[in-house]
Amino acid sequence: MKLYYSPGACSLASHILLRETGAEFALERVDTARHATEAGADYYAINPKGQVPLLELADGQRLSEGPVIGQYLSERAGAQSLLPREGLARYRVLEWQNYVATELHKSFTPLFRTDLDAAARQPLRASLRAKFEWLDSRLDGEHLTGAAFTVADAYLFAVARWAPHVALDLSDLPRLQAFLARVAQRPAVAAALRAEGLLSA
């Protein structure tokens, strides 16, 4: 398999899950501003959406959308700790996966725009901050759904790391900060961060 990624983007979650499941894979870095791969290919020709992550399978088929890639990888590996196969536990993980995707990830998107002034950013930042405050109040275990690290935890870890880039201070949210520190210590997570140049060797 091959993962098309951009350092620190939401593709980090897919990268983490590839390592958590012990999959064999290659990495292809994408410059999302130029829409070109590290090898110089037109990324739009590979993925018309122009976004990462994109997972290329062994037979050449390609799968997009990070939450779907996470589900595919966990089920392919039979990793029920990452995503239970059945029962309410499965839907609790998917519930969080959906929250991270729709309420957190997409709320960051306008804050990355360069054409918004400070007045326009302030309510967007305040709204996103409130969502993280609510999440912090719900983090009463090691991870989002308890003791097990899941696909939703990988996604939250990747997205929450964007906060400093949009001047969103989350440092006073103790449970969230403890969660981020715990996840960062996982061998697969540290390896992914190092491979993307986000952590010193």
How far is residue 184 CA from its own chain's centroid? 13
Does the structure show a pLDDT above 70 at 102?
Answer: yes
Are 99 and 176 in the same domain?
yes
β-pairing, 36-37 vs 26-31, is antiparallel
122 lies in some domain: yes
Cα 39 from Cα 125, distance rounded (Å): 36
pLDDT band at residue 26 using 50, 70 and 90 as cut-offs: very high
Does the structure show a pLDDT above 90 at 108?
Answer: yes
Asked whether the beta carbons of 35 and 44 are under 8 A apart, the reply is yes
200 lies in some domain: no
117 lies in some domain: yes
In this prediction, residue 200 carries a pLDDT of 67
Does the structure show a pLDDT above 80 at 97?
Answer: yes
Is the pTM higher than 0.75? The answer reads yes
8-state DSSP, 14 = H
- Main-chain dihedrals φ then ψ at residue 156, nearest 5 degrees: -60, -40
Domain containing residue 16: CATH number: 3.40.30.10
Are 56 and 132 in the same domain?
no
In this prediction, residue 199 carries a pLDDT of 84
In this prediction, residue 8 carries a pLDDT of 96
61 lies in some domain: yes
What is the domain range of residue 40?
A: 2-79+189-195
Are 174 and 104 in the same domain?
yes
Does the structure show a pLDDT above 60 at 78?
Answer: yes
Are 73 and 34 in the same domain?
yes
Does the structure show a pLDDT above 90 at 201?
Answer: no
Q: What is the arithmetic mean of pLDDT over 26-48? A: 97
Are 93 and 43 in the same domain?
no
Does the structure show a pLDDT above 70 at 167?
Answer: yes
Are 116 and 50 in the same domain?
no
Are 52 and 94 in the same domain?
no
Are 60 and 108 in the same domain?
no
Q: What is the arithmetic mean of pLDDT over 117-125? A: 94
Tally of structural domains, the chain: 2
Question: In which order are the strands placed within the sheet that holds 2-5?
Answer: 36-37, 26-31, 2-5, 54-56, 62-64
Does the structure show a pLDDT above 70 at 58?
Answer: yes
DSSP result, 38-61:
TTS-BHHHH-TT--S-EEE-TTS-
Are 74 and 91 in the same domain?
no
